C-alpha cells in the first residue's frame, strides 16, 4: 500500500524522500536509536499523505469532468445521467481509470450538442485518450491548444470542429501519437510547421475538411516524421506538388492524398519508402510519367491508387517486383503502350487490376493467368486488341468480375471462362466479338451479369444459361442472335434487365416473362417476334421499361398492362448499373430509343460506331441509375410502335400514373383516345401517329403540363384541338392528315351557327293570303341577299388588305434575307400570326406587327445588331413611343426545340426576378422564333470587361461595382436553381449572358434557352456539350448530364473574369490551359495577387488602409471563386451557398444571414 502510494506521488513529492548524503548519514546513525513505534508512525504518516494526495488528484479530475459536462446543451440518450458526485467517477459513462486517475474519456457517437472547449480538461494531467467523435458539438480549433499536455490519443472525427489547424498543436501536446480530425470543417492553409515537434506522432488524419494551401511548403524532416506511420489528408483543397522530402518519413506505411488539387509529377523518392503499404493519390491533377523504380516500395506495397489524374507514359516493368501488391488502380489517366507481359508473372497477390479509361494498346498478356488471387479486372475504354486469353481461367480461379467493354477485342467468348467458378460479371460490350455464346457459361452458378451488346455474336441464346440461377442482367442487344427466346431462361428468377433489341430473334414473346417478379427492364425491339403481347407481363410488378417496337406482333394490346399486379418494390434493383438512354431523333431509326448499360463506355466511341451512323443519336441521357424508378406501381416507358396491333387503346392505360413515354405509332389501332389519359400527369412523350384512331382529342389532355412531344398525325381524328394546355402550342405537323381535325395550330373550325329557313309557311294562311305571303317572302329574300352581298364585299376587302400587308411583309422579309446573309429567315406555308403573343405573360406588351419590328430595327440592319451568340442574334429596337426593347432572333433550334418552344415560353414569361432579364413577349413566324426582352442600357458584362478595350473613353468597373455585379448575377442564377418550379438549369452561364441595366444591376439572360427540368428530362440531359468553351465544367466532357453544379462552375468563371479582367480562353495569356487553370497555377505558386486585374487595383486606390482592406476582400472573393470551379461537382457549393458567402462579405453583414435570394 505504501509503495503504491509512493509511486502515485507527483514527482515533486517523491523528491522529499530522496535525502541528501548528510541526511542519509544522519538517518543511518539515528535509526538504531529510534524505537519501532516511531518508525511505524513515520511510515503511517507517509502513507496517509500519499493517499490524501491521490484523493486530491481524483477530485481534480471530477471537477474538470463536471465543468466539461456543463458545456453540453443536449444529451438525448442520457449518457451523462450518472455523472454525479455520489457515484464513483470511474464508473461514469465513457470514463476509464487507472490507479484512481482518469486516463481516458470516450463519448463518441452519443449525439451530444454544445459549444465545447477544452480548458476544463487541461488540468487532467493523466488523461491519455480523448474521443468525442460523431457528435454535434461546435468546437473552435483554437481550443485544441488547451488539451492536456500528456494526451496521446485525440479523436474528433465528425465532431464539427471549425477554424484552422493550430500550427503549434504538437508543441503544446508533444506526446500525441494518434490524431483524427477527419470529417470536420477545418479551413485555411495547411500549416507548414505542423509536423515540427511531432516526434512521437504515428497516425495523422485530417481528411474530408476544407484545408487549402501548398503541400509542397510542408516542412518534413527526419526528426519530425521518423515515427509517422500513417498520414491522410484526402478530400481537402490542398494544392501544389508532393514534396520529395516525403522520403524522410522512412517508416511511413500509408499515404492518403486523394481528392485534392495536387499537381506536378509523382516524386521518385516515393518509390524509395521501403515500409510503404498503401498509397492513394487519386482524383488530383498529377501529370508526368509514373516513377520507373518502385523496387524499394515493392517490398511492402499492397495498394496503389492513382486513378483520375493526368498521368501519362507506360506502366513501368519495375512493378513486377511488387509481389505483395493487392490493388492497382491506374484508371482514368493517359497511360499508353502495351501491358508488359513480365508484370503479371510475379504479381501473385494481385486482387484488383483497374486500368480503365486509358490508351493502353496491344493484347491482354496470357501471363495474367499467374495472378491466382485476381478478383477484379477492369480494362474498359482502352485500345486492347487481340483475343481474350483463354488461359485466364482457371489460372485466376478467384476471378469475379471481367470487364473489357469499349476495346478492339476480336474472336469469340472463350468457353474456358466457365472454369472461373466465382465469376459474377462478364462485360465485353462494344467490341468485335463473333461466334456463338458458349453453352459452357451455364456452369457459372454465381454469374449475375452477362453483357456483350454491340458485337457480332450469332447463333441461338444457349438454354444452358437457365442454370445460372444468380443471373440478373442479360444485355445482348445489337448482335446477330437468332432463334427463339429459350424458356429455360425463366428459371433465373432474379432477372432484372433483359435486353435483346436489334437481333434476329423469332417466335413469340414468352408468357413466362410474367414469372420474373424482379424484372424491371425488358427490351425486345427490332426483331422478328410474332404473335400477341402476353398479358402475363402485367404480373411483373417491378416492370418499368417495356420496349417491343419494330416486330411483327399482332392482336390487341392487353388491358392488363395498365394494371400491374402487386406493389412495386425496387429496393436494390439495378442498383449497380450505369444506365444511358439513347434517344432517336427524327425518323432515321424506329422507336423512341434504347436503354444501355454504359459502365466503362466512352460516349464518343458510341457515336463513331458504323452501325449507328444511320440513326440520329444526338441525345444521350445518363445518370447513376437514371432515377427512372418512382414510388408508383406502373410502367414508365412503353414502346409498342411499328407492329401490327389492332383494336382500341386500353382505357386502363390511364391508370399508369408514372408513365413518361408512350409510343404506339405505326400500328392499326382504332377507336378513340381514352379520356382517362388526362390522369397521366407525368406523360412527356405520346406518339400514336399512323394508326386509325377516330373521335376527338380528349379535353383532359389540357391537364398534361409535362407533355413536350405529341404526334397524332395520320389518323382519322375529328373535332377541335383543345385550346388549353400544351396542345395548341405544338407544330401543325403533329396533327397532319386528320381531315376532320381543326383549331390552332391547324385552320380554325367552321362556325356551328347556320341560318335556318323553312320553305313552307302556315298552310291555312298561305291559302287565305297567297299574294301577301309571296310579296313578303320576296322582300325578305331580297334584303337578305343584299346584306349578304355587302358582307361578302366587306370581308373580301378586309382579306385583300390583309393579304397585301402579309405579302408586303413577306417581300420585306425576303429582301432582308438577300441583304443580310447571316440572318436566315424562313416563312413556311403555315398561316401563323405575325404579332407578339403576350396572352400568357404577367407583364404585357402591346401587340406589335412584324412590320413594326422591322421598322423599329431599321430592317434588322447591321447598325441595330447589338450581339450574337449560340442561340441567335440580338437587335435593338426603338419603338414609336421612344421606348427600347431587345429582339433576339433564335437560330439552330432543333425539331425538338420547336415542339417545346411555345410551352416553354408560357412558363418562362411568368418568371420575374430583379436579377433576371424579363421576357416581354415572343413572335412565332413559320419556323422562326423572335423573343422580345427589356433592353439593358450598359449591355453585357463581357462588353464592359473585354469588348471595349480599344476605346479610350471606356469605363473601368470599380471593385464595388464588380462586387455588385457578382452578387446580382449570383442571386439571379440562385433564383433559377432554387425558387423556380420546375427548377431551371441555365446550361450556358457566361459573362455575355450577364446584362447590366442603367444602375449596373446584373441581370442574367438566356435562361429561357435552358431545357426545363420536366417529366421527361428530370433525370436526363442532352448529350451535345452544353455551354461555351472556357465556361464548360470538366465533367461535361466525360458525362452528358447537365447539372446545377455545372452552372456553379460556369458562374465561378464569370467571377474570375471580374477579378482578373481576362477572358476565359486566351492563348497569349494561358497557352494550352484556360483562365481557371492559369489562376489555379498562380495560386498553387503562392502568387494570388498576380491574378488580380491591374486596372482594378488602379481604380480602387484611395488610402493605404482602404486599399489593403479591398485587396483582402479580393482574396476572399478569389477563395469563393476557387470553390465554385472545383474539379469535382460534389466539392462545389450550390448557388444558395454562394449567395450566402457573397453576402457575408458585405460590410455590416452577419455570418448567420441566410435570407433567400
The CATH number assigned to the domain holding 920 equals 3.30.200.20
Answer yes or no: do 511 and 534 share one domain.
Answer: yes
CA distance 1003 to 1136: 17
Residue 315 grid cell: 506502366
Whether residue 495 contacts residue 471, with contact meaning beta carbons closer than 8 Å, is answered with yes
Annotated binding-site residue? 889: yes
Largest CA distance in the chain: 173
CA distance 982 to 708: 14
Q: Given phi > 0 = left and psi -120 to 50 = alpha, else beta, which region is 524?
A: alpha
User: How many CB atoms within 10 Å of residue 17?
Assistant: 9
In sequence order, which residues have a C-beta less than 8 Å from that of residue 148 and are 6 or more positions away?
Answer: 121, 122, 123, 124, 125, 127, 173
CA distance 369 to 374: 9
User: How many CB atoms within 10 Å of residue 361?
Assistant: 15
Residue 499 resides in a domain = no
Q: By residue range, what is the domain housing residue 595?
A: 505-742
CA distance 164 to 374: 43
Residue 980 resides in a domain = yes
Answer yes or no: do 146 and 54 share one domain.
Answer: yes
Answer yes or no: do 278 and 414 share one domain.
Answer: yes
Answer yes or no: do 1113 and 1047 share one domain.
Answer: yes
Residue 903 grid cell: 410551352
Residue 757 resides in a domain = no
Answer yes or no: do 649 and 722 share one domain.
Answer: yes
Answer yes or no: do 256 and 401 share one domain.
Answer: yes
Q: Which residues of 996-1013 are buried (b: 16+ CB within 10 A; e: fewer)?
A: bbeebbbbbbbbbbbbbb
Alpha carbon 1094 to chain centroid, angstroms: 36
Strand 928-934 to strand 530-532: parallel, antiparallel, or no bridges (unpaired)? unpaired
CA distance 544 to 870: 37
Answer yes or no: do 380 and 519 share one domain.
Answer: no
Task: Beginning with the edge strand found earlier in the chain, give each strand of the sheet holding 113-116 in spatial order.
Answer: 113-116, 136-140, 161-164, 185-187
CA distance 795 to 783: 18
Answer yes or no: do 664 and 700 share one domain.
Answer: yes
Low-confidence stretches of the chain (pLDDT beneath 50)? 1-56, 567, 569, 616-619, 622-630, 753-774, 806, 809-846, 892-897, 899, 949-952, 1010-1025, 1101, 1150-1157
Strand, helix or coil for residue 74 = strand
Whether residue 647 contacts residue 671, with contact meaning beta carbons closer than 8 Å, is answered with yes
Residue 33 grid cell: 536509536
CATH number at residue 645: 3.80.10.10
User: How many CB atoms within 10 Å of residue 876?
Assistant: 18
Domain count along the chain:
5
pLDDT of the residue at 771: 44
CA distance 1050 to 1056: 10
Q: Given phi > 0 = left and psi -120 to 50 = alpha, else beta, which region is 627?
A: left
Inter-helix orientation angle 1044-1060/959-974, to 10°: 170
Residue 942 resides in a domain = no
Out of 695, 710, 742, a domain closes at 742
Residue 758 resides in a domain = no
Answer yes or no: do 613 and 721 share one domain.
Answer: yes
Residue 819 resides in a domain = no
Inter-helix orientation angle 959-974/1104-1124, to 10°: 30
Residue 808 resides in a domain = no
pLDDT of the residue at 276: 94
Answer yes or no: do 66 and 142 share one domain.
Answer: yes
CA distance 231 to 182: 11
Out of 99, 122, 155, a domain closes at 155
CA distance 642 to 829: 30
Whether residue 408 contacts residue 602, with contact meaning beta carbons closer than 8 Å, is answered with no
Answer yes or no: do 706 and 837 share one domain.
Answer: no
Q: Active site includes 988? A: yes
Out of 132, 155, 178, a domain closes at 155
CATH number at residue 1030: 1.10.510.10
Answer yes or no: do 997 and 930 share one domain.
Answer: no
Q: Which contacts of 262-267 are long-range, i.e. CB under 8 A and separated by 24 or more positions? A: 262/215, 262/238, 262/286, 263/239, 263/287, 263/1081, 263/1084, 264/240, 264/288, 265/241, 265/289, 266/242, 266/290, 266/291, 266/306, 266/311, 267/241, 267/242, 267/243, 267/291
Strand 376-378 to strand 352-354: parallel, antiparallel, or no bridges (unpaired)? parallel
pLDDT of the residue at 755: 36
Residue 751 resides in a domain = no
Q: Of 61, 75, 988, 1093, which one is the catalytic site residue? A: 988
Alpha carbon 189 to chain centroid, angstroms: 29
Question: Which stretches does DSSP call E strand in 461-527?
Answer: 473-475, 480-483, 497-499, 504-505, 521-523
Output the CA angle 199-205-208, nearest 5 degrees.
150
CA distance 96 to 129: 9
Nearest to 124 by CA among 72, 66, 37, 208: 66
- Per residue, the 3-state secondary structure of 159-219, as one string, reads CCEEEECCCCHHHHCCCCCEEECCCCEEECECCCCCCCCCCCCCEEECCCCCCECECCCCC
Amino acid at each position: 500500500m505504501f509503495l503504491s502510494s509512493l509511486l502515485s506521488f507527483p514527482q515533486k513529492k517523491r523528491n522529499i524522500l530522496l535525502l541528501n548524503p548528510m541526511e542519509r548519514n544522519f538517518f543511518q546513525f539515528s535509526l538504531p536509536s529510534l524505537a519501532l513505534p516511531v518508525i511505524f508512525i513515520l511510515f503511517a504518516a507517509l502513507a496517509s499523505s500519499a493517499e490524501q494526495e491521490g484523493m486530491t488528484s481524483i477530485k481534480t479530475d471530477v471537477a474538470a469532468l463536471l465543468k466539461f459536462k456543463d458545456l453540453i446543451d443536449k444529451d438525448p440518450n442520457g449518457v451523462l445521467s450518472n455523472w454525479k458526485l455520489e457515484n464513483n467517477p470511474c464508473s461514469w459513462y465513457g470514463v476509464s481509470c487507472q490507479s484512481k486517475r482518469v486516463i481516458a474519456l470516450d463519448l463518441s457517437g452519443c449525439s451530444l450538442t454544445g459549444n465545447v472547449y477544452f480548458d476544463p480538461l487541461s488540468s487532467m494531467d493523466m488523461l491519455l485518450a480523448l474521443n468525442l467523435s460523431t457528435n454535434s458539438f461546435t468546437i473552435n480549433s483554437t481550443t485544441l491548444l488547451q488539451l492536456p499536455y500528456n494526451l496521446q490519443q485525440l479523436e474528433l472525427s465528425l465532431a464539427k470542429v471549425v477554424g484552422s489547424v493550430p500550427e503549434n498543436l504538437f508543441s503544446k501536446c508533444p506526446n500525441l501519437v494518434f490524431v483524427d480530425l477527419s470529417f470536420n470543417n477545418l479551413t485555411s492553409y495547411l500549416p507548414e510547421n505542423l509536423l515540427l515537434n511531432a516526434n512521437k506522432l504515428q497516425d495523422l488524419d485530417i481528411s474530408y475538411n476544407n484545408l487549402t494551401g501548398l503541400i509542397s511548403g510542408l516542412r518534413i524532416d527526419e526528426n519530425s516524421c521518423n515515427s509517422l506511420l500513417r498520414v491522410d489528408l484526402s478530400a481537402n483543397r490542398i494544392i501544389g506538388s508532393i514534396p520529395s522530402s516525403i522520403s524522410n518519413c522512412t517508416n511511413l506505411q500509408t499515404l492518403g492524398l486523394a481528392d485534392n488539387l495536387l499537381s506536378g509529377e509523382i516524386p521518385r523518392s516515393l518509390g524509395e519508402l521501403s515500409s510503404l503499404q498503401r498509397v492513394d493519390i487519386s482524383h488530383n491533377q498529377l501529370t508526368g510519367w509514373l516513377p520507373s523504380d518502385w523496387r524499394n516500395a515493392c517490398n511492402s506495397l499492397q495498394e496503389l491508387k492513382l486513378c483520375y489524374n493526368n498521368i501519362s507514359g507506360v506502366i513501368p516493368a519495375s512493378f513486377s517486383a511488387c509481389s505483395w501488391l493487392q490493388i492497382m488502380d491506374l484508371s482514368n489517366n493517359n497511360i499508353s503502350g502495351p501491358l508488359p507481359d513480365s508484370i503479371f508473372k510475379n504479381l501473385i497477390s494481385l486482387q484488383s487490376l483497374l486500368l480503365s479509361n486509358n490508351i493502353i494498346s496491344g493484347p491482354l498478356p496470357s501471363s495474367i493467368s499467374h495472378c491466382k488471387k485476381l478478383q477484379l479486372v477492369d480494362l474498359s475504354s482502352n485500345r486492347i486488341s487481340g483475343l481474350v486469353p483463354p488461359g485466364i481461367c482457371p489460372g485466376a480461379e478467384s476471378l469475379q468480375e471481367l470487364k473489357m467493354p469499349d476495346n478492339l477485342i476480336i474472336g469469340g467468348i472463350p468457353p474456358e471462362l466457365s472454369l472461373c467458378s466465382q465469376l459474377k460479371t462478364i462485360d465485353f460490350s462494344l467490341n468485335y466479338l463473333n461466334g456463338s455464346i458458349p453453352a459452357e457459361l451455364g456452369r457459372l452458378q454465381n454469374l449475375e451479369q452477362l453483357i456483350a451488346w454491340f458485337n457480332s455474336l450469332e447463333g441461338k441464346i444457349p438454354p444452358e444459361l437457365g442454370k445460372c440461377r444468380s443471373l440478373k442482367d442479360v444485355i445482348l442487344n445489337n448482335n446477330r442472335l437468332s432463334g427463339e427466346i429459350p424458356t429455360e431462361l425463366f428459371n433465373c428468377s432474379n432477372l432484372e434487365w433483359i435486353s435483346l433489341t436489334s437481333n434476329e430473334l423469332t417466335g413469340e414473346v414468352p408468357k413466362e416473362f410474367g414469372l420474373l417478379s424482379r424484372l424491371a427492364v425488358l427490351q425486345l425491339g427490332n426483331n422478328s417476334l410474332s404473335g400477341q403481347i402476353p398479358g402475363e407481363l402485367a404480373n411483373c410488378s417491378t416492370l418499368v421499361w417495356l420496349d417491343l417496337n419494330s416486330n411483327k406482333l399482332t392482336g390487341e394490346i392487353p388491358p392488363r398492362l395498365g394494371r400491374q399486379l402487386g406493389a412495386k418494390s425496387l429496393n436494390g434493383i439495378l442498383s449497380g448499373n450505369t444506365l444511358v438512354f439513347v434517344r432517336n431523333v427524327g425518323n432515321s431509326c424506329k422507336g423512341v430509343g434504347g436503354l444501355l448499360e454504359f459502365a466503362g463506355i466512352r460516349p464518343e466511341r458510341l457515336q463513331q460506331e458504323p452501325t449507328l451512323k444511320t440513326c440520329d443519336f444526338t441525345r444521350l441521357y445518363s445518370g447513376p441509375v437514371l432515377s427512372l424508378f418512382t414510388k408508383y406501381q406502373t410502367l414508365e416507358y412503353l414502346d409498342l410502335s411499328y407492329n401490327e396491333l389492332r383494336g382500341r387503346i386500353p382505357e386502363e392505360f390511364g391508370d399508369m400514373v408514372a408513365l413518361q413515354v408512350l409510343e404506339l405509332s405505326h400500328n392499326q389501332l382504332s377507336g378513340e383516345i381514352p379520356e382517362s389519359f388526362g390522369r397521366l400527369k407525368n406523360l412527356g412523350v405520346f406518339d400514336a401517329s399512323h394508326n386509325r384512331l377516330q373521335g376527338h382529342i380528349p379535353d383532359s389532355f389540357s391537364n398534361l403540363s409535362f407533355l413536350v412531344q405529341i404526334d397524332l398525325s395520320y389518323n382519322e381524328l375529328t373535332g377541335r384541338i383543345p385550346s388549353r394546355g400544351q396542345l395548341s402550342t405544338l407544330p401543325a405537323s403533329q396533327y397532319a392528315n386528320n381531315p376532320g381535325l381543326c383549331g390552332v395550330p391547324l385552320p380554325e373550325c367552321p362556325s356551328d351557327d347556320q341560318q335556318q329557313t323553312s320553305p313552307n309557311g302556315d298552310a291555312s294562311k298561305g291559302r287565305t293570303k297567297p299574294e301577301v305571303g309571296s310579296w313578303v317572302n320576296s322582300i325578305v329574300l331580297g334584303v337578305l341577299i343584299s346584306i349578304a352581298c355587302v358582307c361578302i364585299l366587306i370581308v373580301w376587302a378586309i382579306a385583300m388588305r390583309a393579304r397585301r400587308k402579309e405579302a408586303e411583309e413577306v417581300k420585306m422579309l425576303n429582301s432582308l434575307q438577300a441583304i443580310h446573309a447571316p440572318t436566315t429567315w424562313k416563312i413556311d406555308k403555315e398561316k401563323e400570326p405575325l404579332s407578339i403573343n403576350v396572352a400568357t405573360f404577367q407583364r404585357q406588351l402591346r401587340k406589335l406587327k412584324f412590320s413594326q419590328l422591322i421598322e423599329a430595327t431599321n430592317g434588322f440592319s447591321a447598325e441595330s445588331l447589338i450581339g450574337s451568340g449560340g442561340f441567335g442574334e440580338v437587335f435593338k429596337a426603338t419603338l414609336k413611343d421612344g421606348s427600347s426593347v431587345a429582339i433576339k432572333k433564335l437560330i439552330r433550334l432543333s425539331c425538338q426545340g420547336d415542339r417545346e418552344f411555345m410551352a416553354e415560353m408560357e412558363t418562362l414569361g411568368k418568371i420575374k426576378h430583379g436579377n433576371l432579364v424579363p421576357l416581354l413577349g415572343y413572335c412565332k413566324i413559320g419556323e422562326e422564333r423572335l423573343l422580345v426582352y427589356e433592353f439593358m442600357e450598359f449591355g453585357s458584362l463581357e462588353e464592359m470587361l473585354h469588348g471595349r478595350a480599344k476605346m479610350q473613353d471606356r469605363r473601368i468597373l470599380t471593385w464595388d461595382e464588380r462586387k455588385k455585379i457578382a452578387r446580382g448575377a449570383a442571386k439571379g442564377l440562385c433564383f433559377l436553381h432554387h425558387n423556380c418550379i420546375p427548377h431551371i438549369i441555365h446550361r450556358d452561364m457566361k459573362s455575355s449572358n450577364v446584362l447590366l441595366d442603367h444602375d449596373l444591376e446584373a441581370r442574367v439572360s438566356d435562361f429561357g434557352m435552358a431545357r426545363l427540368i420536366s417529366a421527361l428530362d428530370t433525370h436526363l440531359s442532352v448529350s451535345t456539350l452544353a455551354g461555351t468553351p472556357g465556361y464548360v465544367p470538366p465533367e461535361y466532357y466525360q458525362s452528358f448530364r447537365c447539372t446545377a453544379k455545372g452552372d456553379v462552375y460556369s458562374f465561378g468563371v464569370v467571377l474570375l473574369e471580374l477579378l482578373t479582367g481576362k477572358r476565359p480562353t486566351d492563348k497569349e495569356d494561358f497557352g494550352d490551359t484556360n483562365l481557371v487553370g492559369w489562376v489555379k497555377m498562380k495560386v498553387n505558386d503562392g502568387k494570388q495577387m498576380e491574378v488580380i486585374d491591374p486596372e482594378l487595383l488602379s481604380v480602387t486606390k484611395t488610402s493605404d488602409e482602404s486599399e489593403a482592406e479591398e485587396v483582402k476582400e479580393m482574396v476572399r472573393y478569389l477563395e469563393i471563386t476557387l470553390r465554385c470551379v472545383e474539379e469535382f461537382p460534389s466539392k462545389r457549393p450550390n448557388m444558395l451557398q454562394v449567395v450566402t458567402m457573397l453576402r457575408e462579405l458585405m460590410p455590416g453583414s452577419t455570418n448567420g444571414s441566410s435570407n433567400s435570394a
